[in-house]
Amino acid sequence: MKKLIIALFLFPFAFTSFAAEMSPSCQQYFKAIDDYLEMAGKNEAMKAQLDTMKGQYEQGKQQMVSLPAESQEQACKPALASIEQAMTQLKSMQ
């Protein structure tokens, strides 16, 4: 589970270029991450990792804004599917 979480935060940032705003898929992705972090804060097993996850999240979000919309979409669509799967797993743990 820890490796999945780290991969979810790092995967979308494998591209490099520049953009000024967040694509629709990335907006959904970061909303899902917000929800995931909120859920993780309620899970005793996840609380210890929460500060690290939040730090990675903020760094990643800033990096994502700098990418062109096309690269954002390429990164965020599969990442969104992955975070949705992780949320399902986390819900089953609660």
CA–CA separation, 84 and 29 (whole Å) = 9
As a whole number, mean pLDDT of residues 65-92 equals: 90
pLDDT of residue 20: 53
Query: Residue 15 in 3-state DSSP?
Result: coil
What digits encode the pLDDT tens for the residues 32-41? 999 988 888 8
How far apart, in whole angstroms, are the C-alpha atoms of residue 69 and residue 2? Answer: 29
Q: What is the pLDDT of residues 6-20, one digit of tens each?
A: 445 554 544 434 445
pTM of the complete model beyond 0.85: no
* Amino acid 17: pLDDT: 40
Distance between CA atoms of 24 and 49, rounded to whole angstroms? 28
Using the predicted structure, report yes or no on whether residue 77 has a pLDDT greater than 60: yes
